[in-house]
Structure 1
Amino acid sequence: MKADGLTIKELTEAVGGGITPRMVRHYHQLGLLPQPMRSHSNYRLYTETDVIRLQRIVALKQQGFQLNHIRQILEVEPPNNPNTNLMLQLQQQYRAVIQQISQLRQTASALEGLLGRDRDCQIIQAEVLAQLKLIEVETKVGLGELEKLWSGLDAQIHAHPEDFHESLKHVLPDLSARSEIEQDLISQLVLACGDVSLASFVKLSQQAIAASRDALKLGCEIIADIPTVAAALDQTRLFHLGCRIETLIDNPHVTTAVEAEQAFWQQQQWRKKLQQVKKGCIFVVGYAPSVLLSICQAIKQQQIQPALVIGMPIGFSHAPAAKRQLMRTNGAWIVVEGTIGGGLLAATALNSLVESVIEKPDCHCYLSH
């Protein structure tokens, strides 16, 4: 640091991060940077404190903070320890971002439902996706400076295994209004897909937890829509509970949502099988939206009386509609709203409930059966 201070150009060179003299003058106007002292020639002269403060502004901008938020952060930070409130501010910003993602996802799911009904809209959808991809590329360019931060943090990951519960405490939204079992279920679903914004899309009927636990303790039948979902269920615990696993579309060649839909529509045997399920069973639907639609219709017509329906099929028109119909039934249900879903999420939901009923036994007796 020069004894008489740095010029505005020298300041920007010391800070880096793409900062220009024009941006510095703008930060002065906004009150983010205090006005510096002047030389005899009326040039701005900056100190080490100014360098540190501008570095903080750059770092917070790269984390996604708006300039007005940055000013508020700098106002409340103790000058001798600028990192005291940083984690709290980052957590608040993170929660705000996740809330925005959830709102955007809700809108996207609604648009997907409309686009999925009309083939002519697929061209528009492709154009929108292309624009989103362009935005993604531009965003990555803007976040290039964060690579230095990631490099430093990534170097530490070899020192210990990841503590998932510790991470979830910082990233999950406030779930204190939900029961402990619901909190665990949502945490498991987030871990299954790696997307924290999923938490706001998980919906449970009022009686879902109690009804499912009672049914599991009685050794109820578990019915998955396709073999892929059945294979992901916690067979060890279910065996010890006396719960038998059945597959509705019992065809090992059916492994995707597309195949499941076609099989259910083309072969009446699966529809007839659906109407013959035992009272008090639990449905786990992760792929075929038409299966969930048929379940809702059968419940409405009082043809079946399941203890619980886990409805998480994938789809862009039928799936959101099927989930809405399920949520309008009087039974017990668990859904992930919108187009989001999948066999892993559906199986994870049931496994979480099963885990709340019985500890995992050490033996694997089911393997001999």
Structure 2
Amino acid sequence: MINQYLTIKELTENVGGKVTPRMVRHYHTLGLLPPAQRSSGNYRLYTQQDAQRLRRIVALKEQGFQLSHIQQLLKNDSDTEVNSTLMTQLQQQYQAVIEQISRLRQTAAALEGVLGRDQHCQTLQANVLAQLRLLEVETQGGLQELEQLWQNLDTAISSHPEAFEESLQHLLPELGDRSEIEIDLLSQLVLACGDVSIVNFVRISKNAIAAARHGMLAQCQIVGDIPAVTAMLDQTRLAHLGCQITTLIDNPHVTDVVEAEQAFWQQSTWSKNLEKIEPQSILMIGYAPSILMWVCEAISLHQIQPALVVGMPIGFSHAPAAKRQLIRSGIPYITIEKTNYGGFLAAVVINALAKSLIDKPDCHCYLQSL
């Protein structure tokens, strides 16, 4: 008969090796795990229910929840007061995380100010770094000296244009496993929003680049969710490729995410427009998350069959859910696992893909990563 119990080592292996025996014992101390049964040799023994509870703890911890919050979540208590307390604690944790992100963003900006300099500034850059090592900031005079260093470094930029490609070489993470076209697409997204960290959140399905190029070569239809998105498209290049541009919510007064979401629920014409979309079109959803969710549902029911979906709506609850649904849809996709940016970057994606197709029609580097 197979032993129904797990040792603490087997327990940690059962949950994928993401915790150590020491962490398990710590969870016992905090009350996250109930007391374990003991063997005749006084070793801890665990059941599959214990393993399932530990997997829940690990999953919630990886999502960013603190252990004290996980403890309350695992109580499965529907008491209103407890839920209200937990919501307050989660709001406090959220604000603390935002403050930490702000501090890290300041650090990143300082590093970008040094690393992002081009060759014209390298001599002055070396002098600044040398002076930073000797800087004393205990007094107000020291702070003024630091400000003067940045002013000296900034003065050097007025004599020449910024070398964006050189800056990106210093700042972008290692992208050796990406195709040339994909690297260009990521670079264009960074240059569009000025946020290098966005590279870590961009999700491109394996066949997305191929689907976009094949669709554009076949003069596919480009469909945006609102006019504010399609207005940012490179009309000249797309016309050169023979791609027709159309809009689901064809209302020029809908210009932001709030209006786009309201139009989704209050109007019905957009759904009729979606039904008219040609097969193998490219859809770009840049504002309304509910439209992206509806698109994913229509795809699952085989009501529409786009070649590619660029899903980058803005939102704090619906948008992340819609993007996850897109990733699971099986349709080629490009999305960003963040709540911001939206329509502008959706248009940047289409423009970058169109430009690369015209500039490098015979490039097949993107097929090597499939």
For Structure 1 versus Structure 2, the TM-score category normalised by the shorter chain is 0.5 to 0.7
- Structure 1 segments of 4 or more deviating over 6 A? 137-143
Instruction: Describe the superposition over 1:254-279 as per-residue Cα deviations: whole angstroms up to 9, x where unpaired.
Output: 00001000001111221222122110
Aligned-partner Cα distance in 2 for 1:310–1:188: 15
For residue 349 of structure 1, what is the aligned residue in structure 2? 349
User: In the alignment, residue 255 of structure 2 is paired with which amino acid?
Assistant: T
For residue 162 of structure 1, what is the aligned residue in structure 2? 162
Aligned-partner Cα distance in 2 for 1:259–1:199: 29
For residue 176 of structure 1, what is the aligned residue in structure 2? 176
For residue 213 of structure 2, what is the aligned residue in structure 1? 213
For residue 335 of structure 1, what is the aligned residue in structure 2? 335
Q: Aligned with 1:314: secondary structure?
A: coil
User: In the alignment, residue 162 of structure 2 is paired with which amino acid?
Assistant: E
User: In the alignment, residue 260 of structure 1 is paired with which amino acid?
Assistant: A
Correspondence 1:129-148 to 2 at 5 A: 129=95, 132=98, 144=143, 146-148=146-148
User: In the alignment, residue 221 of structure 1 is paired with which amino acid?
Assistant: Q
For residue 275 of structure 2, what is the aligned residue in structure 1? 275
**5+ residue gaps, structure 1:** 1-105, 112-117, 361-369
Q: 1:135 to 1:225 in 2, by over 3 A?
A: closer
User: Does the CA-based 8 Å contact 1:237-1:359 persist in structure 2?
Assistant: no
Please identify, of 130-139 and 192-201, the stretch whose mean Cα deviation from structure 2 is larger. Answer: 130-139
User: In the alignment, residue 289 of structure 1 is paired with which amino acid?
Assistant: P
Q: Aligned with 2:279: secondary structure?
A: coil
How far is the alpha carbon of 1:190 from its aligned partner? Answer: 0.6
Q: TM-score, normalised by structure 2?
A: 0.61
Aligned-partner Cα distance in 1 for 2:147–2:306: 51
CA RMSD of aligned residues (A): 3.0
Q: 1:126 to 1:270 in 2, by over 3 A?
A: farther
User: In the alignment, residue 270 of structure 1 is paired with which amino acid?
Assistant: W
Aligned residues: 246
Aligned-partner Cα distance in 1 for 2:210–2:103: 47
How far is the alpha carbon of 1:340 from its aligned partner? Answer: 3.0
Please identify, of 340-349 and 225-234, the stretch whose mean Cα deviation from structure 2 is larger. Answer: 340-349
Correspondence 1:79-228 to 2 at 5 A: 121=87, 125=91, 128-129=94-95, 132=98, 144=143, 146-228=146-228
Q: Aligned with 2:331: secondary structure?
A: coil
Q: 1:238 to 1:131 in 2, by over 3 A?
A: closer
Please identify, of 127-136 and 305-314, the stretch whose mean Cα deviation from structure 2 is larger. Answer: 127-136
User: In the alignment, residue 261 of structure 2 is paired with which amino acid?
Assistant: E
Please identify, of 140-149 and 316-325, the stretch whose mean Cα deviation from structure 2 is larger. Answer: 140-149
Q: TM-score, normalised by structure 1?
A: 0.61
How far is the alpha carbon of 1:329 from its aligned partner? Answer: 1.4
Instruction: Describe the superposition over 1:236-260 as per-residue Cα deviations: whole angstroms up to 9, x where unpaired.
Output: 0001111110011100000000100
Please identify, of 147-156 and 232-241, the stretch whose mean Cα deviation from structure 2 is larger. Answer: 147-156
How far is the alpha carbon of 1:123 from its aligned partner? Answer: 9.3
Q: 1:257 to 1:149 in 2, by over 3 A?
A: same
How far is the alpha carbon of 1:130 from its aligned partner? Answer: 7.6
